Chain A
Amino acid sequence: MRVMAQIGMVMNLDKCIGCHTCSVTCKQTWTNRSGTEYMWFNNVETRPGGGYPQGWEDQDRWKGGWKRTASGRLVPKSGGRLQSLAHIFANPRLPELSEYYEPWTYEYDKLLSAPRDSQHFPVARPISQITGQPIDTVSWGPNWDDDLGGGEDVLKADPILDSISTKVKAEIEQSFMFYLPRICEHCLNPTCMAACPSGAIYKRMEDGIVLVDQDRCRGWRMCVSACPYKKVYFNHQTGKAEKCTLCYPRLEAGQPTVCSETCVGRLRYLGIMLYDADRVAQAAAVKDEKDLYQAQLDILLDPHDPAVVEAAKASGISDEWLTAAQESPLYALIKEYKLALPLHPEYRTLPMVWYVPPLSPIVDAVTASGVDAEDHRILLTTLSHMRIPMEYLAQLFSAGDTAPVELSLRKLAAMRSYMRNVNLGMEENTEAATAVGMSGEELMKMYRLLAIAKYDDRY
């Protein structure tokens, strides 16, 4: 066992309001320079939708992430290093401007400088930030399908909808959506790093942050293709790759990342996880995709386990870090409560930004029937009537296996039922707790972490 520490993040999608404040504060801080106009280290996607860049999840096309060979080995989907070398000068699997967007601005100065006796009221028309040429019709952006904008097109652009059996129609009666904020996953087994011909990408040993060495990067852009989350970008001014740094200059000063601290939905948790570095390759290479979630859970170590503590100390992890790992909200959300799930575990990168899946309203048919929802057990029993198909969430978070998603949602629902009785001073609802294999006390603790969620409990 080689214990290593990883700073990771959990986002509770059930609380995400889709406001994009995280994206803006991140952009203002890190990527409002020339060459980075289109870079969103943090972006928020409306799901269903194509995401940013459009269709990033379509690994048949991008060949991001890892492939398990028949012999049980992992190779980057894009091919091994030799293959990469073969098309080093012409990487065919890069998203194009059309999949990102052509950054634009406006002729703002024309408003005030419009000459006397202009025929019309002045206007600032759009111009390309790439070419400087006028754009008559802005036709694509980084968040074009916000709030299901685009309707049918949105559903067509979402690769996940192709892979589930539930047929989703672009009809108001069936409409559903939720938001998916995304940053770099700071994977335990990052493909971007493996794919870099220059060895410019490295994962910091002390905290697992994956960074691009701006001096060594030669701009081959193999990382852009290899990252299945499309979270490495190419700076067209400097010719280097850039990506989310997990705000290490802030983390090093004891501050949370910008996206976390500015998240007004208060849905982000930051914390240290200990993992067994020796078993990373093995966990990433389990045969069945559906076992990847469990495999990753297994190599995330219990920081209270004396053996782990001893091994951690042996690896040079300080007492402060150990304490932080023990108090980590991530450990509670990921391991103890099993509320949080990894994003696309099937990419086999062992991502370290995890998500609590969202609840959603029950469908119109149930509302219309007037079933007795006054009985608040409805909160527990109607998961199957929720608008967001469970299958959809399973495709995102558990390689299609609905069991972990359902467990997570059931726990949220059980907590709500249990807490309702507490809230109204009614008899304790032990039924709700036992239904999800928890005690009332545990539900209460989970409630405090999710609902009260004080600053120090989140970070």
Chain B
Amino acid sequence: MTDTQPDALPESVARLGAFLRPSAKAVNTRQIFLEGGRGADQFYRQRWSHDKVVRSTHGVNCTGSCSWNVFVKDGIITWETQNVDYPTTGPDLPEYEPRGCPRGAAFSWYTYSPTRIRYPYIRGRLLDFYREAKKKVGDPVLAWKEVVEDPVKSREYKRSRGKGGLVRATWDEAMEIAAAAHVYTTKRYGPDRMAGFSVIPAMSMISYGAGSRFYELMGGTMLSFYDWYADLPMASPQVFGDQTDVPESGDWFNAGYLIMWGSNIPQTRTPDAHFMAEARYRGQKVVAVSPDYADNTKFADEWLRVAPGTDGALAQAMGHVILKEFHVGRQEPYFLDYMKKFTDSPFLVTLKEKDGAYVPGKFLTAADLADSDLANTENASFRPLVWDAGKGITDPGGTLADHFGSEGEGKWNLTMENIDPLLSASDFGTESAEILLPRFDLPASVDQKTLGAGVMSRGVPAARVGSVLVTTVYDLLLAQYGVERPGLPGQWPTGYDDAESPGTPAWQSQFTGVPPAAAERIGREFAQNAVDSQGRSMIVMGAGTNHYYHSDTIYRTFLALTTMCGTQGVNGGGWAHYVGQEKVRPITGWAQYAFALDWIRPPRQMISAGFWYLLTDQWRYDGTPAEKLLSPLAELDWSGKSTADTLVESMKRGWMPSYPTFSRSTLLLAQEAREAGVDPAKWIVKQLEEGKLSFACEDPDNPENFPRILASWRTNLLGSSAKGAEFFYRHLVGSDSAATAKELPEDQRPESIVWRDAAGTGKVDLLMTADFRNTSTTLYSDIVLPAATWYEKDDLSTTDMHPFIHAFDAAIDPPWETRTDFAIFQDLAARVTELAKTHLGMQTDVIPTPLNHDTPDEYATPHGIVPDVAEVGLIPGKTMPKLVVAERDYTKLIDRFNSMGPLPEKAGMVTKGISFDPSPEVEQLRKMNGMADTGRPLLDTAEKACDMVLYFSGATNGRLATTGFETLEKRTGTPLSDLSAGDEEKRISIHQLHSKGAQGVITTPEWSGSEHGGRRYSAFVQNIERGRPFHTLTGRQHFYLDHDWMRDIGEAMPIFRPPLDLQVLYGEAAPGDTGNTGDGVHVAVRYLTPHHKWAIHSQYFDNLHMLTLGRGGQTVWMSPQDAEIIGVADNDWIEAWNRNGVVVARAVVSHRMPQGTVYMYHAQERTMGTPITETSGKRGGIHNSLTRILIKPSHLIGGYAQHSYAFNYVGATGNQRDEVTLIRKRSQEVSY
């Protein structure tokens, strides 16, 4: 080989050099060509060599589901790079390769890192007590009792949590203690006193499922995460009747207009961002809406710089422009046709007289038409109606009335043959009515009954039905958006420049800071593009707008835009919600496995925000008057109630789940019933009626009601998602807390909760955590189990960002004494079984269950009129939770864990109301994976569990997809099964995924989109193209929600609600206030916690590579203006504090930040370089040390149409974006 050396020496020197070097050949004097000397190349060549490459991915926290090559040399994982062999997207679209991000690329650091947990650890003080007790009593369960029931010992070890003193233990001892604790708790307090917390299963389904299977077999409770993270967009169940269904990222490429609204795609959807960058080259216009100049802003053609949390006003003004110009003005046929067919717009709503005018009331349903045949139809109260051009009042079909029951068979569809619903009452009515509507955009004051609220007068055309005045949802929508039509009463905007009248571009500008002309133009462009492209206008939305208290209202104003422009259900159009969303594509089989539905039903599943709120006693400090949130037009009287009271009410009504449920163990209640010789459900109702039993949520500080065991795996509750972290430390853990909030004075306490003078501290007896790294959660735990990393296990991964399923494949065996989550819970199940033989045996359990989504429970509340329980009485399944009796044989726990139960074939597997029968697959699995003594297929390895998930789901088993569609066809009466035609033979197995890599999934009724024929997945394509109804009251997308609570909270329609005014609610400082309490000038700022660039939640934050590329510890971003006020320079140490806690961090001063707002990127862990604070004298807090749980009552509605409970589907959000904090410079001397 030959090398060259261009040089630039004086010619004489060059000549000399060439002469002096043997073997040099100079072509000219500037270059020297040398032979050889390449042996040194070997160094890098050797470094590149490796023994094998294994496919895997990263299992939790992130929705990327990227496929990675993991390189192994000499049995050691060296590094990882992205796979590039995804199934193709076709010739005209960019591919999914490569997928990954810097966090994922740094993952292998964890394998051998110094933060790796290599062995089991136990809290030393607890271990001493346990060993001592065991020596004394011999039996593990009795030994556990000795420790936890001894107030001194119990207080001792709980107080030592988070103060060091974890000691290395053997697996034997750690598992013995854990098993003993579980058996004791079940026996003494009841199974619902145990809770498992693990999150977002789609990206490692078996790791989640092994633990949840264990807890559901025990009768324990699995805690939700999506709502808790405030990632659940409550607007989705409200509007679509669906949890979240969104386009895959490849579909962005199909959009002609893309608004990134509160979603910083390059930072938070890193592997997908290229589709956006590339779509611009196709002529897509890109708009960014964000308060700061973010990573994504650089890609935008325009940037709308919006004030934090005011996005709803901007969207409302854009809607105003669109409705005015495209609907009322141009009468754009595409839009109006879509509104008729796929939205509740043409449905009739009654008007109710109030104060000399009217207010919108309930949907007019068949039950309201006393003289008509319609009144006698099945489920008539759930049959809302339209006005047909020829026939008058008509049932358009496809409403909730047709969803369940025999009469609806074959009729539940949106085809509307021979029906032409009229959009506006002006087309069939002769009257008009002045209506009163709430507004919440006025300045708030302390003495005001309702925060910032007022009433505006608008008008609608109306028609008379009998004695009742009705209008349409469409008319109400135009009124709400201030779009005037001739001849209507009420006050209307004088033009776009009318800043007084809600809805206009000039009006929104006062709140958002976005120039009126910009709002007007972007609104118009969005709609025009939808006209030009038949709906290919898209809004990508995320945490930036979804983490506020009133985010459901913000999202409803967005969804109004995507719906009124006919973009939902269109490739390249619609909403694209990306925060914490996931998609367990093989959902049916996964749910069977993970919730042990093959053995016992129903599972115990809990709303986390409600659970933590009660467990961590945040209600003792909260006291938000529920009334403050109501509309001035509200009819319910919530005076004296706090939001905590609405939570209790919802739980008692069975709207939301409530675990622990009762003031006594459900096992004990079943036993009492048996002894009394009555049915357990009747016994419980009687006990409640007689006041001998109460709900646990009514007395959360009663030790009988404490959740006693909290197990965490695949998550970091205490260092990341714990809103009100300092209250967790005080009440759940029993450790130090920097919260300074005062407990409520007597007159502000919740009326439905028992106030005990001594709040519970250290409520939980056992904190058990499995992880591969140290976090706040492991360091507070009593038992720390060393978990395998993602590169050391077999598992499954899917996401909604791409249409593939792929596998984890162990690159190495779990090193040191680490174990997979599967192995951990399998061992625990075996040990519990052993102890149960003596202590538990067979038990009868009563499982209180909320009124469920996609079941006839949705018929529990006609018209959404909240019944008076005192009047109606306690009726399980109507006015209180259902009570289901089930047998639990604890002596067979491990056998059940390790094999498949009989219920899938016997009782079917139901997903979104569709039942699947997997009998042939059970037979196949028996042959493939072997069977237990009972003849049931084995599930004793993670790979076998994977196969159960894959074979039992339509997304991965074509036969089930097609039979599922056939079942659905019977209900809809329309053809659907062709969507999975051609895939009937397709069965994806774990071995296939291991050997072939990512595989495309099959179109299935489990989801609403279609991948059929290689198209990109977009949500609701089945609904729009095939007339499959949405799972809502009308079967269409909803602008209008008529439940009593929705009406009274003033959110029957999309509306702008500003961030909560914490100054008025809690006396916090107002943003911009400055002061000095003797330790320097401070300023009050809005405190936002967007997702981090150098971490995914707290994971990767402790990774040295990410800490190096970031700033090596906790930071807070602030504007130069705010920095100047408090005299801070870049990288100065600051302290931020409010009533909830204290944060110590360094300032990142940047002009990309708006004045008055700081960002503390989400879940920076305080385990890394966090000093002691000056404010509290304790270790600085995490980002959630400054936040707290704030319950929004409307999130708690249940038992009515789409407002019905499902796990992670609806529930109070753990929102955290309305906070304000004080911030100041601190001493630059820090100590650790």
Q: Give which listed residue, B44, B1133, B1228, contacts A249 with CB less than 8 A.
A: B44
Contact B281 A450 (CB under 8 A): yes
- Contact of A108 with B114 in the complex, beta carbons under 8 Å: yes
**Interface stretch (choices B24-32, B640-648, B739-747):** B24-32
A264-B270, A420-B282 are known contacts. Are A144 and B1111 too (CB-CB below 8 A)? yes
B827 at the interface (CB under 8 A from A): no
Do residues A125 and B1169 form an inter-chain contact, with CB atoms below 8 A? yes
Cross-chain contact of B81 among A25, A75, A125, A170 (Cβ < 8 A) = A25
Say yes or no: A175-B1151 contact (C-beta < 8 A), given A24-B106, A362-B302: yes
User: Which of A2, A194, A376 sits near B27, CB closer than 8 Å?
Assistant: A2
Residue pair A424, B100 in contact (C-beta under 8 Å): no
Residues of chain B lying within 8 A (CB to CB) of residue A4: 4
- Interface contact A121-B115, CB-CB below 8 Å: no
Say if the beta carbon of B273 comes within 8 Å of chain A: yes
Q: Contacts of B784 on A, CB cut-off 8 Å?
A: 112
User: Is residue A204 contacting chain B, with contact meaning CB distance below 8 A?
Assistant: yes
Is B166's beta carbon under 8 Å from chain A? yes
Distance of A53 from chain B, by nearest CB (Å): 14
B1178 touches A120 (CB 8 A): yes
Q: Is A321 at the interface (CB under 8 A from chain B)? A: no
Does A159 make an interface contact (CB < 8 A)? no
**Contact residues in A for B303 (Cβ distance below 8 Å):** 361, 364, 367
* In the complex, per-residue mask of B1112-1152: 1 if CB is within 8 Å of any chain A CB, else 0: 11000101100100000011010000000000001011111
Docked CA distance A296–B935 (Å): 76
How far apart are B734's CB and chain A's nearest CB, in angstroms?
13
Q: A80 near B: Cβ within 8 Å?
A: yes
What CA separation (Å) do A417 and B166 show in the bound complex? 64
Contact A141 B295 (CB under 8 A): no
Binds B, one of A91-99, A275-283, A330-338: A275-283
Tell me whether B82 and A262 are in contact (CB under 8 A): yes
Contact-size category for A: 35 or more
* Residue ID in chain A nearest B285 by CB atoms: A376
Q: Confirm or deny: A288 has a beta carbon within 8 angstroms of a beta carbon on chain B.
A: no
Contacts of B281 in A (CB 8 A): 412, 415-416, 419, 447, 450-451
Q: Is the CB–CB distance between A277 and B31 below 8 Å?
A: yes
Are A374 and B524 touching (Cβ within 8 A)? yes
Which residues of chain B are near A171, meaning CB under 8 Å?
Answer: 1151
Write the nearest CB–CB distance from A174 to chain B, whole angstroms.
Answer: 8
Task: Using known A-B contacts A216-B37, A424-B532, determine if residue A21 contacts B1152 with beta carbons closer than 8 Å.
Answer: no
**CB-defined contacts of A359 to chain B, threshold 8 Å:** 280
Q: Is there an interface contact between A147 and B1109, defined as CB atoms closer than 8 Å?
A: no
Question: Smallest distance from the beta carbon of B525 to chain A beta carbons, Å?
Answer: 5
Q: A17-B270, A116-B164, A172-B293 are in contact. Are A137 and B1228 (CB under 8 A)?
A: yes
Which residues of A are found within 8 Å of B271, using beta-carbon distances?
264
Q: Closest A-chain residue to B3, C-beta based?
A: A202
Within 8 A of A (CB), among B9-27: 9-10, 13, 21, 27
Q: Would you call A452 an interface residue if the criterion is a C-beta within 8 Å of the partner chain's C-beta atoms?
A: yes
Chain A residue contacts of B1149, Cβ below 8 A: 149-153
Nearest A residue to B525 via CB reads A374
Whether B43 is near chain A, meaning CB under 8 Å from some CB there, is yes
A316 to chain B, nearest CB (A): 9
Contact A261 B283 (CB under 8 A): no
Which residues on B sit within 8 Å (CB–CB) of A373? Answer: 301-302, 521, 525
- Which listed residue (A151, A152, A421) contacts B283, Cβ 8 A? A421
Residues on A with C-beta less than 8 A from B6 are: 188-190, 193-194, 203, 280-281
Contact mask for chain B residues 29-58; partner A; CB cutoff 8 A; 1 contact, 0 none = 011011001111101110111000000000
- Interface: A423 (CB within 8 A): yes
Q: Which residues of chain A come closer than 8 Å to B294, judged between CB atoms?
A: 147
Interface residue? B816 (CB, 8 A): no
Contact check, A149 vs B163: say whether CB atoms are below 8 A apart: no
Which chain B residue lies CB-closest to A238?
B43
**Complex Cα spacing A124 to B1114, Å:** 12
Asked if A126 is an interface residue, CB under 8 A from chain B, the answer is: yes
The CA of A134 and the CA of B91, in the complex, are separated in Å by 55
Partner of A141 from B1, B106, B528, B1109 at Cβ < 8 Å: B1109
Residue B622 CB within 8 A of the other chain: no
Q: Is A138 an interface residue (CB 8 A)?
A: yes
Answer whether A66 and B1130 are a contact pair too, CB < 8 Å, given A172-B1119, A368-B518, A376-B283: no
**Cβ–Cβ contact A108 & B113, under 8 A:** yes
Contact A28 B106 (CB under 8 A): yes
Chain B residues closer than 8 Å to A148, beta-carbon distance: 293, 1150-1152
A117 within 8 A of B: yes
Contact A262 B100 (CB under 8 A): yes
List chain B residues, Cβ under 8 A from A117.
160, 163-165
CB interface residues, A 133-160, toward B, < 8 Å: 136-139, 141-144, 146-154
B1081 sits at the interface (CB 8 A):
no
State which size class the interface on B falls in.
Answer: 35 or more
Q: Which of B28, B102, B1104, B1146 has the most CB of A within 10 A?
A: B102
**Could you tell me if B101 and A264 are in contact, using CB atoms closer than 8 angstroms?**
yes
B298 within 8 A of A: yes
CB distance from A342 to the nearest CB of B (A): 17
Complexed CA–CA distance, A250 and B50 (Å): 12
Give CA–CA (A117, B159) in the complex, Å: 9
When distances are taken between beta carbons in the complex, the residues of chain A under 8 Å from B285 are: 376, 379
Q: Which residues from A are CB-within-8-Å of B124?
A: 116
A26, closest chain B residue (CB): B105
Chain B residues with CB under 8 A of A146: 1093, 1109-1110
Interface centre among B34, B165, B298, B515 (most CB of A within 10 A): B298
| Chain A 2-40 interface residues, beta-carbon cutoff 8 Å to B | 2, 4, 14-15, 17-21, 23-25, 27-30, 32
Q: Give Cα A123 to B1152, complex, Å.
A: 31
Shortest C-beta distance, A389 to chain B (Å), equals: 14
Contact A124 B1169 (CB under 8 A): yes
Pick the most buried of B97, B105, B297: most chain A CB atoms within 10 A of its CB. B105
A81-B9, A123-B1179 known; A20+B1109 contact, CB < 8 A: yes
Would A374 and B256 be within 8 Å (CB), given that A14-B277, A137-B1133 are in contact?
no
| Given A125-B1232, A177-B298, A367-B303, residue A20 in contact with residue B102 (CB < 8 A) | yes
A21 touches B165 (CB 8 A): no
Known A142-B1109, A144-B1111, A262-B81; contact A370-B105, beta-carbon cutoff 8 A: no
CB distance from A194 to the nearest CB of B (A): 5
Query: A332 vs B186: C-alpha distance in the bound complex, in angstroms?
Result: 71
Q: Is B1168 an interface residue (CB 8 A)?
A: yes
Q: Which residues of A contact B115 (CB under 8 A)?
A: 108, 111, 124
Determine if A258 is an interface residue (Cβ-Cβ < 8 Å).
yes
Interface string of B705-734 (1 = CB under 8 A from A): 000000000000000000000000000000
Tell me whether B94 is interfacial, beta carbon within 8 Å: yes
Is A214 among interface residues, defined by CB-CB distance under 8 A?
A: yes
A170 to B1153, CA, bound (A): 10
**Ranked 10 nearest A-B pairs via Cβ:** A420-B283, A370-B517, A116-B165, A114-B164, A17-B266, A118-B164, A108-B114, A138-B1112, A451-B281, A28-B79
| 25 sampled A-B residue pairs with Cβ under 8 A | A17-B295, A24-B105, A118-B163, A120-B163, A123-B1179, A137-B1230, A141-B1109, A142-B1108, A147-B1150, A151-B1120, A172-B1153, A177-B298, A194-B9, A205-B33, A211-B40, A211-B41, A216-B40, A362-B301, A367-B518, A374-B521, A412-B281, A423-B256, A423-B533, A426-B532, A451-B281
Q: Name A residues whose Cβ lies closer than 8 Å to a Cβ of B.
A: 2, 4, 14-15, 17-21, 23-25, 27-30, 32, 66, 73-76, 80-81, 103-106, 108-109, 111-126, 136-139, 141-144, 146-154, 169-172, 175-178, 188-190, 193-194, 199, 202-206, 211, 213-216, 245, 247-250, 258, 261-267, 277-278, 280-281, 358-362, 364, 367-370, 372-374, 376, 378-379, 412, 415-424, 426, 447, 450-455
Apart from A103-B1108, A117-B160, 14 more pairs, CB < 8 Å: A19-B266, A28-B78, A28-B79, A30-B44, A73-B8, A113-B164, A122-B162, A136-B1229, A151-B1150, A152-B1120, A172-B1153, A189-B6, A211-B41, A370-B518
